[in-house]
Structure 1
Amino acid sequence: MTSRTVTLLDVARTAGVSKSTASDALQGSGRVAEATRDRVRAVAEELGYRPNSAARRLRRSSTGAIGLHLPQTATRLDYYMNLAFGAVARAQEEGFDMVLLAPEGAAGGPVASRVDGLLVIDPEVGDRAVPGLLDAGVPVVTGERYLGPTAAPTGAVICDNAASLTALLDHVTERGARRPAVLAPAGTSAWATALRATAASWGRERGVDVALRTVPFAATPGEAEETTLDLLRTDPAVDAVICAPDGAAPGVLRTAAALGRPVGPGAPPAATTHSRKAPTLLLVASCVDGTATRSAEPPVTAVDLRPAAYGRACAELLCDILAGRTPPDTVRRHAWALETRASTTAGPA
């Protein structure tokens, strides 16, 4: 027996409605009672109905594309590449192509004529393209909140970045750190702003003096190494360094090795004839997990932001809004996970 494609007419007949009512119910348009809309959608799911995306675009004068705007530093960060792949995969499941927008020169008017909606990831107040994108006349979903004064996005997917840094600070102090330091990102994104504010507030609330140093949003391992070297020479009491930028933590490890600071919570080596006391241990962690933290020696404890899943969640919210399945102004939360490794944990994590 050969299977055939389920059509809209099949859905309509099974649900006991007209073809036009079934179409309106599935698209979220027209004057369709909520109970009827729910019944038609349930039938469509049961039958495995998949709308013809090309025909749907023609009926709606749709472009069949979604625009993706990433920070200018995205091309060299593992996090954003994984996020983009996740967003592309989810959009394609809905029949949309993904258009990567140039970091510079993106303007609302021209963009709106080429896409049905926009994903704007980690929007910064200083990014001149963002206000035009938010005012482009098409639905816009941001990955993280936009802190600028312009129009709000149609929807957003956010992480609790304050909670993730709090978890890291709590973790290193539970492992014995008494003078933690945070290499926090510069910039005006919600992520960077939250990390800087949390480092300060966590210290005030617990009576702990957190050494806060600001590094570039997309700091390289070399920049992290230079900052950490200056930090530990200036303040040798620092016994834990939390490095925020994606992929930069190996620079902290190199500094520790250069200064003879063993990394991890194990027992320190005995003092040598050239020193009066054993070197102080150093715990190392990162606010962003990735290949650099997992493959480091020792592997680095990090917050797994699940970027591919995050990209999927952003694209899914936009597709839901475009299809009328979700109302505008929806904010969804994305979960993160703390991955503890040898840089802060003795033995198996």
Structure 2
Amino acid sequence: MTPPAVTLLDVARAAGVSKSTVSDALQGSGRVAEATRDRVRAVAEELGYRPNSAARRLRRSSTGAVGLHLPQTATRLDYYMNLAFGAVQRAQEEGLDVVLLAPAGAASGPLASRVDGLLVIDPEVGDSAVPGLLDAGVPVVTGERYLGPSPTPTGAVVCDNAASLTALLDHVRDRGARRPALLAPAGTSAWAQALRETAAGWGAAHRTEVAVHTVPFAATAADIEAATRRLLTTDPGIDAVLCAPDGAAPGALRAAADLGRAVGGDLLIASCVDGTANRSANPPVTAVDLCPADYGRACAALLCDILAGRADPDTVRHHTWVLETRPSTAGPHS
């Protein structure tokens, strides 16, 4: 049986230094003391460490820029704009520019000659540009997993969307809701799939159906107002509406008011994505803060680390979220 290959982490543990120090010592880069460099190289030789040639190729940087691909509907959503600003800020700290790739031409042209790496955010199986981006010949980090077939990304930063929706459903249940509904996004992203699967699983666990209704991925407040009106008119027993799309929850507030429902009383309303629209609504809307600027920074940081040899290909990092409770889910007995 072939023994497992020795990794950078194995060398780091044996030498008593960090993985990034091992990488710098073996590549002759970074500010590593000569004695440390010699010790790391001796340990690597003793353990039989062999650098991965594919990984070495990924670390070659030449253009001074990385590309950023966002979903086609992202340009009017606060979430993606904040994410993009975070990514740009982190890349600039490494001396890299960020090139925003136009959706129509994202997969065309010799990308490998124009950028050192790519950030692909919320990749959808139905986005025809994504396979070409993943096969562009440069490292690719995705924000959320890509559910399509190969090629696969070099790395990913993921958020536990199942846990965030579970927390939101648990919260409205604790506040008295017994018949929740989810206005779920259309599309083939990992986020959309996670929300649907979690709603079904949570409903089964609590022996209560979560009514799932499909709305556009980038639904407007008007779209959500119409969807909420149809939902509550068809089934007045619904006592909580969870709205997935960014910035659209105020539409659910308007529909509830028109139908005479007391938001925060006999009807709880919450959002799967936080933003200015939720915080400034009347009443303010409970939401999951996905911390998009920090998420953008995390995606750019992983790509920079892969390019610099500080992280290995196939690295997956996890991003945190925060549940912000507000008066829209105060509950009937508050």
State how far apart, in whole Å, the 1-side matches of 2:61 and 2:307 are. 13
Work out whether 1:291 is the aligned partner of 2:276: yes
Work out whether 1:161 is the aligned partner of 2:161: yes
Task: Tell me which residue corresponds to 1:17.
Answer: none
SS at 1:331 equivalent: strand
Task: Tell me which residue corresponds to 2:178.
Answer: 178
> Structure 1, unaligned stretches of length 5 or more?
1-19, 38-59, 266-280
1:202-217 maps to which residues of 2 (within 5 A)? 202-217=202-217
Q: Which residue identity does 2:118 align to in structure 1?
A: L
Q: Which residue identity does 1:26 align to in structure 2?
A: G
Work out whether 1:303 is the aligned partner of 2:308: no
SS at 1:142 equivalent: strand
Q: Deviations over 1:112-149 (max 9, x none)?
A: 11000000000000100000000001000000000001
1:129-168 maps to which residues of 2 (within 5 A)? 129-168=129-168
Q: Does the 8 Å CA contact 2:217/2:245 hold for their aligned counterparts?
A: yes
Could you tell me how far 1:25 is from its partner in structure 2?
Answer: 3.1
Task: Tell me which residue corresponds to 2:267.
Answer: 282
Q: Which residue identity does 1:313 align to in structure 2?
A: A
Could you tell me how far 1:108 is from its partner in structure 2?
Answer: 6.1
Work out whether 1:25 is the aligned partner of 2:36: no
SS at 2:125 equivalent: coil
Q: Does the 8 Å CA contact 1:215/1:224 hold for their aligned counterparts?
A: yes
Could you tell me how far 1:107 is from its partner in structure 2?
Answer: 2.1
Task: Tell me which residue corresponds to 2:18.
Answer: none
Q: Structure 1 residues 34, 188: CA separation in 2 closer, same or farther (over 3 Å shift)?
A: farther
Task: Tell me which residue corresponds to 1:107.
Answer: 107
Task: Tell me which residue corresponds to 1:248.
Answer: 248
Structure with higher RCO (Cα < 8 A, 6+ apart): 2
Task: Tell me which residue corresponds to 1:268.
Answer: none
SS at 2:328 equivalent: coil
Aligned mate of 1:315, from 293, 300, 308: 300
Q: Which residue identity does 2:262 align to in structure 1?
A: P
Q: Does the 8 Å CA contact 2:268/2:331 hold for their aligned counterparts?
A: no
Task: Tell me which residue corresponds to 1:73.
Answer: 73
Q: Does the 8 Å CA contact 2:203/2:209 hold for their aligned counterparts?
A: yes
Task: Tell me which residue corresponds to 2:92.
Answer: 92
> Structure 1 length as normaliser, TM-score?
0.79
Q: Structure 1 residues 34, 80: CA separation in 2 closer, same or farther (over 3 Å shift)?
A: farther
> Structure 2 length as normaliser, TM-score?
0.83
Task: Tell me which residue corresponds to 2:309.
Answer: 324
1:40-55 maps to which residues of 2 (within 5 A)? none
State how far apart, in whole Å, the 2-side matches of 1:114 and 1:315 are. 17
Q: Does the 8 Å CA contact 2:25/2:40 hold for their aligned counterparts?
A: no
State how far apart, in whole Å, the 2-side matches of 1:129 and 1:27 are. 40
Could you tell me how far 1:69 is from its partner in structure 2?
Answer: 0.1
Q: Does the 8 Å CA contact 1:108/1:136 hold for their aligned counterparts?
A: no
Q: Deviations over 1:290-330 (max 9, x none)?
A: 00100000000000000000000000000000000010000
Aligned mate of 1:35, from 29, 37, 40: 40
Could you tell me how far 1:164 is from its partner in structure 2?
Answer: 0.5
State how far apart, in whole Å, the 2-side matches of 1:91 and 1:222 are. 36
Q: Which residue identity does 1:110 align to in structure 2?
A: P
Q: Does the 8 Å CA contact 1:177/1:239 hold for their aligned counterparts?
A: yes
Could you tell me how far 1:150 is from its partner in structure 2?
Answer: 2.2
Q: Percent identity?
A: 74
Aligned mate of 1:341, from 317, 320, 326: 326
Task: Tell me which residue corresponds to 1:235.
Answer: 235
State how far apart, in whole Å, the 1-side matches of 2:195 and 2:315 are. 24
Q: Does the 8 Å CA contact 2:256/2:262 hold for their aligned counterparts?
A: yes
Q: Structure 1 residues 113, 169: CA separation in 2 closer, same or farther (over 3 Å shift)?
A: same
State how far apart, in whole Å, the 2-side matches of 1:206 and 1:106 are. 44
Q: Structure 1 residues 235, 27: CA separation in 2 closer, same or farther (over 3 Å shift)?
A: farther
Task: Tell me which residue corresponds to 1:16.
Answer: none
Q: Structure 1 residues 21, 180: CA separation in 2 closer, same or farther (over 3 Å shift)?
A: closer
Could you tell me how far 1:210 is from its partner in structure 2?
Answer: 1.1
State how far apart, in whole Å, the 2-side matches of 1:94 and 1:33 are. 27
SS at 1:25 equivalent: coil
Larger radius of gyration: 1
State how far apart, in whole Å, the 1-side matches of 2:148 and 2:205 are. 28
> Structure 2, unaligned stretches of length 5 or more?
1-23, 43-59
SS at 1:104 equivalent: helix
Q: Does the 8 Å CA contact 1:242/1:284 hold for their aligned counterparts?
A: yes
Q: Deviations over 1:47-83 (max 9, x none)?
A: xxxxxxxxxxxxx660000000000011010000000
Q: Does the 8 Å CA contact 1:108/1:137 hold for their aligned counterparts?
A: no
Could you tell me how far 1:105 is from its partner in structure 2?
Answer: 2.2
Could you tell me how far 1:206 is from its partner in structure 2?
Answer: 1.1
Q: Which residue identity does 2:40 align to in structure 1?
A: A
